[in-house]
Amino acid sequence: MMRSLYSAISGLKNHQVKMDVIGNNIANVNTAGFKRSRVSFATELSQTLKGASAPSPAQGGTNAMQVGLGMRIGSIDQIMTQGSSQSTGKATDMMLQGSGFFVLNNNGQEVYTRAGGFDRDSDGTLIDPATGAKVQGYSWGADDTTPVAWGEASNIRFNKGDVLASDSAMPIDVLTISVAATDAPTAPSTLRTFDTSVPGAENLTIEGMTRVADGTTPASGQYSFNQKTGIVTFASDMSATPSPELTIHYVDPTTIKNATGGTTAVVDYPPKPGAIVYNDPTGTTPVAYKLSTSDTPGDLEYTVKETNGEYVITFGTDGAATPAATAVTAAISYDFTNAPHTLSDFSIDQSGVITGVYSNGVDSVTHKIAQIAVASFANDAGLQNVGGNFFTTTNNSGMATIGAAGEDGRASIVSNSIEMSNVDLSTEFTDMIVTQRGFQANSRVITVSDTLLEELINLKR
């Protein structure tokens, strides 16, 4: 009877542990990225009353006679199954689809989580808002082709208004020329400022005056500029003498980044939409090209294509009678927006690449900013839960294998969503009923054993 008492006590204690685990599961039914736990029981060591005997020619064998001494906790397993998806519409919210974990730096300690409800702090660093732990990843280079390194991950930072790396020097410094009264036009409507520098100039402006399209008759306070000839045209009321001092700004013709010759030019900044591009293949007179309406430039047309943060301008022929495409010389000229592209929006794809949309008010370009790091383990269930939705490695989890999402068996990323808890309330309530009945049954064993002991004590009466 004493054995039954202690066996039942072990049943009570361990069913209480199971109830604790069920309670924790239910408490975290709405915790993002939470993984439920499961308790399994194992038998305790049994007391052998009689050992087993082997069969003989005359008599058969007998089994051992054992009395069990109760039960114990066999294991408490983390069930790492996928949780349901909850759409949030927030760009920095991410969900892992498959096996893997986000990597974070929590005050110098590398931790892992399935909860992807991230945000950015005042510095633009991508963080876990509950703890301030910094999301880890890999920055992309200026060529927009490959990450800088797949070695040690680092913090990810980006903010609205960040300047595109290739535009960091903008606005481009311009030359400034003061035109004195002695340089005023001899005719009341035109002024050739320079014979060699102004033709082909880009972004020509005159302080205090408004530029209008070439071919338009300027009104008072306006001017037009012909890039091909270098002629600045003023309103008819522009006085020849005395003339105000004018300050003219312009940028020298663009230097081409590819080899001299050919039909394409690689440049840092795109022409303004619809701008005329001037090319001077003969070195004498610039030829004007207009933007093509198709992907293939025709006579005196050009196309522009953005590639890795640079722009490829392709020229067509310089006239129907010219069979060969126009050769590109050392410099071409066109008006461009002399302002940097700044980050206006971003998106995150399935591989965790954060792609920024950069705009300068005229056109927009895309550039990859960083890539979210994802860790995988040989044994996910072997990770240790340290609170705050964080896990750390243990001797049985294996070391983290960190890399790109969707590669080498790692989970892919679903943006604008978070992973919900994988707790199933119907399962938990069913387990709760079974646990409750197990606890009651063990308490009944103690009650009955106590009754038997009471009968034994009453034998002396």
For 38, counting Cβ atoms within 10 Å of its Cβ (0-12 exposed, 13-18 middle, 19+ buried), the class is middle
The pLDDT tens digits of the residues spanning 17-61 come to 999 999 999 999 999 999 999 999 999 888 888 889 899 999 999
In a domain, 19, yes or no: yes
Please check whether residues 355 and 368 belong to one and the same domain: yes
Whether 338 maps to a domain, the answer reads: no
- pLDDT class for 194, splitting at 50, 70, 90? very low
Task: Single out the residue of 397, 409, 455, 407 nearest to residue 112, CA to CA.
Answer: 397
Question: In this structure, is residue 166 part of a structural domain?
Answer: no
In a domain, 59, yes or no: no
- Within 10 angstroms of residue 184's Cβ, the number of other Cβ atoms is 19
335 located within any domain: no
Q: Do 240 and 200 reside in the same domain of the chain? A: yes
**247 and 282 fall within a common domain:** no
> How far apart are the C-alpha atoms of 163 and 360, rounded to whole Å?
10
Give tens-digit pLDDT for 228-273. 777 788 887 776 555 567 778 888 777 777 655 678 888 888 898 8
Task: Assess whether pLDDT exceeds 50 at residue 63.
Answer: yes
Please indicate whether residue 175 or residue 454 has the higher confidence score (pLDDT).
454
For 120-150, the pLDDT digits (tens) are 999 999 999 999 999 999 988 766 666 655 6
Domain contains 326: yes
Q: What is the pLDDT of residue 13?
A: 94
Q: Is the dihedral of CA 69, 71, 73, 75 positive or negative?
A: positive
- Are 218 and 238 within one domain? yes
Residue 117, domain extent: 90-160+343-418
Residues 411 and 388 in one domain: yes
3-class secondary-structure state, position 6: helix
Highest mean pLDDT among 88-102, 324-338, 442-456: 88-102
- Tens of pLDDT, residues 151-169: 678 899 999 899 988 888 8
| pLDDT of the residue at 146 | 62
Residues 398 and 361 in one domain: yes
Mark whether 319 and 349 lie in a shared domain: no
Number of domains, the chain:
4
- Which pLDDT belongs to residue 442? 92
Point out the domain boundary residue: 251, 268, 290.
251
Residue 197 has pLDDT above 60, yes or no: no
| CB neighbour list of residue 286: distance below 8 Å, 6 or more residues apart | 199, 200, 227, 228, 278, 279, 280, 333
Tokens of 152: 């040690």
Q: Which of 329-338, 421-430, 433-442 has the lowest mean pLDDT?
A: 329-338
pLDDT grade, residue 195 (50/70/90)? very low
DSSP character at residue 15: H
The per-residue pLDDT for 182 is 55
Q: Which two tokens stand for residue 75?
A: 């294991």
Q: Residue 410: name the closest of 402, 398, 418 by CA.
A: 402
Within-domain flag for 238: yes
Has residue 84 got a pLDDT over 80? yes
> Looking at 251, 266, 286, which one is the last position of a domain?
251
H-run or E-run covering 164: none
Q: Would residue 99 count as lying in a domain?
A: yes
In the structure encoding, which two tokens stand for residue 275, read together? 């701008």
Is the pLDDT score of 192 beyond 50? no
Residues 120 and 140 in one domain: yes
pLDDT given for residue 166 in this prediction: 80
- Residues ≥6 apart with Cβ < 8 Å to 277: 271, 288, 289, 290, 302, 313, 315, 332, 333, 334
- Answer yes or no: is pLDDT of 176 > 90: no
Looking at the structure, do residues 271 and 202 belong to the same domain, yes or no? no
Residue 23: what are its φ and ψ, rounded to 5°? -60, -40
User: Would you state the pLDDT for residue 259?
Assistant: 54
Show which of 203, 233, 251 is a domain's final residue. 251
Give residue-wise pLDDT tens across range 277-327.
888 766 667 788 999 999 999 889 999 988 777 789 998 887 766 555 667
Confidence (pLDDT) at 248: 80
Residues 181, 245 share a domain: yes
d(CA 85, CA 378): 24
Separation between Cα atoms, residue 355 and residue 366, nearest integer Å: 7
Q: Which residue in 114, 28, 38, 39 sits closest to 417, CA to CA? A: 114
Number of neighbours of residue 215 by Cβ within 10 angstroms: 8
Instruction: List, for residues 374-418, the tens digit of each pLDDT value.
Output: 999 999 999 999 999 999 999 999 999 998 898 888 999 999 999
CB of 407 closer than 8 Å to CB of 373: no
| % of residues, the chain, pLDDT over 70 | 87
